[in-house]
Amino acid sequence: MTVNVGVIGVGMIGKDHIRRLTTVLAGAAVTGVTDVNLDAAQQVADGVPGGANVHSNGQELIDDDAVDAVVVCSWGPTHEEYVLAAIEAGKPVFCEKPLATTQQACRRIIDAEVAFGRRLVQVGYMRRYDAAYRALKGVVDSGDIGTPTMLHSTHRNPSVPGHYTREMAITDTAVHDIDVARWLLADEVVGVRVLKPRKNSLGGELEDPLFILLEMAGGALVDIETNVNIRYGYDIRGEVVGETGTASLGSGGPISVRRNNLVSDRVPEDWRERFIGAYDVEFQEWIDAVGSGGTFGPSSWDGYAAAVVSDAAVEALHSGERVAVELGEKPALYS
Ligand code: NAI
Ligand code: ISE
């Protein structure tokens, strides 16, 4: 069965997902696209093999019978509206992170999905599909390094766009590390602090880098370094420290070059390069789940939890104090 997908938002990642859905993966076709920039939508539609309908807005795309499932790649503040509309239409929806920009909006999505009675939403936390992260999770779950006591998580970007605010280091960037911490340690966050090292002068007014400390319910601590003007490349690191051993993501790219008494590994340019395989696996598994009625990946609950922790971290950034995190009761749909 071919799953007909409609894509809302054809910016940087929307285009990349359309490329993988139409030229890399099996079982999917892109039948509809839309964007507030309709010229951009038309241009992208013209490049889709077999062509795609251009819709004047997201609601029209969701309502189209030629769209079986929806991918939301528009700006964060628009996600809630489209995810709720997809649930209302009973269509599976893959929403790029964040699920929504406030925890209240995420709750409204959870309420709508619970009322629908079945999971329809998957959130774009692609690290869970990365081969290295999956191997790390395998070691943690095997018990080979004992009970985890700490996770060190490093998230470095060479630079960020001009509209990037100091809060976005948490809500846009560290949100991936927050999701990884909950997933790797199979635990929830109960408290957060944010420390501010000396500023990187290349970040202008930005509070950059940041050191974010998460307290997990089981007692493990997670430190997250965000460092988004580091110039040398996109560098993602992770190390789990257990009671009897440690496990880390491998460093570097697929090859290592030795010459002139030096060893060099490639540092990726950006997330598209570093996580290209993860996005492919993420979307193939999503298409397979939509086609076969199988189980979806990161849920509305995961999107909500990331939003609650992010909100607490932003409060901690502003206040300099520890902020407690309270998620409330998890609906049975997400157990
Ligand atoms: P972008 O700015 O390149 O593209 C966003 C597109 O959405 C633009 O073409 C814009 O015109 C369109 N748009 C805005 N409001 C709209 C609306 N109401 N209806 C339809 N289209 C609308 O942004 P980018 O980098 O592609 O990011 C999009 C989303 O993907 C964000 O939520 C971002 O956080 C997420 N993202 C996720 C990544 C990941 O690693 N999982 C990596 C990069 C982005
Ligand atoms: C971007 O929006 C992403 O989601 C990337 O994965 C992340 O590394 C980057 O810092 C964000 O700005």
Residues lining ligand 2, CB < 6 A? 157, 172-173, 176, 271
pLDDT digits (tens, 9 = 90+) for 95-134: 999 999 999 999 999 999 999 999 999 999 999 999 999 9
Strand partners, 123: 95
Domain 3-123 has CATH 3.40.50.460: no
Q: Ligand 1 atom 29: the closest Cα is on which residue?
A: 73
pLDDT at position 252: 66
State whether the beta carbon of 76 lies less than 6 angstroms from ligand 1. Answer: yes
Could you tell me the pTM of the whole model?
0.97
pLDDT at position 61: 98
Distance 74 CA to ligand 1 centre (A): 4
Tell me where in the chain the CATH 3.40.50.720 domain(s) lie. 3-123
Structure tokens that stand for 16 in this block: 């990349």
CB 224 within 8 A of CB 211: yes
Architecture of domain 128-269+305-334: 2-Layer Sandwich (3.30)
Pick the closest to residue 183 from 223, 126, 235, 234 (CA basis).
Answer: 126
Amino acid type, 80: E
Distance 5 CA to ligand 1 centre (A): 17
Identify the band that residue 1 occupies on the pLDDT scale cut at 50, 70 and 90: confident
Q: Please give the radius of gyration of the chain, using alpha carbons only, rounded to the nearest integer.
A: 20
Distance 161 CA to ligand 1 centre (A): 13
Tell me where in the chain the CATH 3.30.360.10 domain(s) lie. 128-269+305-334
The full DSSP string for 22-48 is III-SSEEEEEEE-SSHHHHHHHHHHS
State whether the beta carbon of 36 lies less than 6 angstroms from ligand 1. Answer: yes
Distance 96 CA to ligand 1 centre (A): 8
pLDDT digits (tens, 9 = 90+) for 182-228: 999 999 999 999 999 999 999 999 999 999 999 999 999 999 999 99
Best mutation site among 34, 35, 62 for ligand 1, i.e. most ligand atoms within 8 A of its Cβ?
Answer: 35
State whether the Cα torsion 228-230-232-235 is positive or negative. Answer: negative
Q: How far is CA 29 from CA 18, 45, 179, 190, in A?
A: 9, 12, 29, 42
Strand partners, 213: 193, 223
State whether the beta carbon of 97 lies less than 6 angstroms from ligand 1. Answer: yes
CB 301 within 8 A of CB 43: no
Distance 75 CA to ligand 1 centre (A): 4
Share of the chain above pLDDT 70, in %: 100
Burial class (CB in 10 A: 0-12, 13-18, 19+), 334: middle
Query: Residues of 117-148 as b/e, b for ≥16 C-beta within 10 angstroms?
Result: eebbbbbbbbbbbbebbeebbebbeeeebeeb
Spell out the alpha helix ranges (H) of the chain: 12-19, 38-47, 58-63, 79-88, 103-116, 131-142, 168, 175-185, 271-274, 276-292, 300-319
pLDDT for residue 67 is more than 90:
yes
The arrangement of strands across the sheet holding 3-8 comes to 53-54, 28-34, 3-8, 69-72, 93-95, 121-123
pLDDT at position 251: 76
Distance 174 CA to ligand 2 centre (A): 8
The answer to whether the bond into 209 is cis (omega within 30° of 0) is: yes
Identify the band that residue 289 occupies on the pLDDT scale cut at 50, 70 and 90: very high
Strand partners, 191: 215, 324
CB 136 within 8 A of CB 249: yes
Helix (H, G, I), strand (E, B) or coil at 261: coil
